[in-house]
Structure 1
Amino acid sequence: MITISKILTEMKDVCTNVKEKEYRQLVDLFKKDIRFFFTGEGRSGLIAKVIAMRLMHSGKTVFVLGETTTPAIKERDVLIVLSGSGRTANTLNVLEGASKVGSQIFMITTNTEVLAQYNGLIIPAATKYRLPNEPETIQPLGNQFDQAAHIILDAAIIDSLDSLQTNDTLKNKHSNLE
C-alpha cells in the first residue's frame, strides 16, 4: 500500500501543477463542434485512445490515427498529440503533416520547447529520460506522464460537458456490442 500512496501523492503534485490557462484552453477546445484526431506512441498512444473514446461518448466526432477508418485530416480539424518527450520521430512526422494542411494542433507534453511551436498543455511529469527539470518518481519510464495525462484529459472532458450531458446520455453512446 505504500507504493500506491506514493503514486497517488505524485499524481496530485503533477496534476495540480498544470497551468490553469493551458487547461482552460483544452476544455474550451473540447467544447467545440469540430473533428478531433488523436495520436501518441506507446503508452501515450494508448492513453490517447482512452481519451478519444471518452470524448466520443460526449458526442464529438473523434478519430485515432493509425486506425483503418481514420479519414484525412483537414484545416478545420484539431490534432491532439500526446508525447511525453515531444520529440518522438513518428510524432514529429505527424505534426509536420497536420501543419501542412493547416489543422489546429494541441500538444500534451512535458517539453516546453515544443509549445513554442504549438498550442498545448505542459504536464510537469517525469519521462523515461529523467531530465534535470523533471520531478522525482518511484515509477519507471513514462508512467508518471501517462497517468497524469489520463487524469487531466478526463477532467477536461468532464469540465467541457454541458448540464444536459449526464452519465445516462454518455452511456447511451457507449458500445452496445460487448
Structure 2
Amino acid sequence: MNTISTVIGEINEVCSQINEMEYSYLVDLLRSKDRFFFSGEGRSGLIAKAVAMRLMHTGKTVFVIGETTTPAIETSDVLIVLSGSGKTSNTLHMLENTLKIGALAFLVTANKEKLKTYKGLFLHAATKDRVLGEPNTIQPLGNQFDQAAHIILDAAIIDSLNNNWSNEILKNKHYNLE
C-alpha cells in the first residue's frame, strides 16, 4: 500500500504543476476543432490511443497515426503527440510534416526545450532518460510521464465539454458490437 500512496503522490505533484495557459489552450483546441490525430511511441502511444478513444466518445472525429484507416491530415486538423523525451525521430518528423501541411501540432512532453518550437503542454515528469532536472520517482522508465499525461488529457476532455455531457451521451458512442 505504501507504493500505491507514493505513486499517487508523485502523479499529484506532476499534475499540480502544469501551466494553466498551456492547459487552457489544449482545452480550447478540444472544444473548437473537429478532427484530431493522435500519436506516441511505446507506452505513450498506448496512452494516446486511450485518450483518442475517449475524445471520440464526445463526438469528435479521431484517428490514431499508424492505423490502416487513418486518412491524410488537413489544414483544419490537430495532431496531438505524446513524447516524454520529445526527441523520438518519428515524433519530430511527424510534427514537422504537420506544420508543413499547415495543420496544428500539439506536443505533450517532459522536454521543455521542445515547447520553444512546438505548441504544447509541459509535464514536469520523469522519463526513461532521467534527464537532469526531472523529478525523482520510485517508478521505472516513463511511467510517471505516461500516467500524468493520461490523467491530464482526460481532464482536458472533460473540461472541453463545459459540463454538457452525461455518461449516457458518451456511452451511446461506445463500441456496441460486443
TM-score range, shorter chain: over 0.9
1:149 alignment partner in structure 2: 149
Question: Please, what is the CA RMSD of the aligned residues?
Answer: 0.8
Partner Cα distance (1:45, 1:158) in 2 = 21
**Counterpart in the other structure of 1:134:** 134
Matched, 1:109 2:117: no
Partner of 1:27: 27
Q: Which residue of 2 aligns with 1:82?
A: 82
User: Cα offset for 1:33?
Assistant: 3.5
SS in 1 for 2:125: coil
Alpha-carbon distance between aligned partners in 2 of 1:151 and 1:63, rounded to the nearest angstrom: 20
Q: 1:46-61 to 2 correspondence within 5 Å? A: 46-61=46-61
Identical positions, percent: 65
Q: In structure 2, how many angstroms separate the alpha carbons of the residues matched to 1:140 and 1:27?
A: 30
Q: State the SS of the aligned residue for 2:112.
A: coil
Aligned position for 1:6: 6
2 CA distance for matches of 1:4 and 1:161? 31
Structure 2, unmatched stretches of 5+, are none
TM-score normalized by the length of structure 1: 0.98
Provide Cα deviations, 1:114-167, integer angstroms capped at 9, x if missing partner: 111111100100001111110000000000000000000000001011333211
Runs of at least 4 residues off by over 6 Å: none
Matches of 2:5 and 2:163, distance apart in 1: 34
- The 1-side partners of 2:102 and 2:28 are apart by 20
Pairwise CA distance, 1:107: 0.5
Aligned residues: 178
> What is the TM-score with the length of structure 2 in the denominator?
0.98
SS of 2:138 mapped into structure 1: coil
Query: Structure 1 residues 141-150 or 96-105, which shifts more?
Result: 96-105
Q: 1:72 to 1:47 in 2, by over 3 A?
A: same
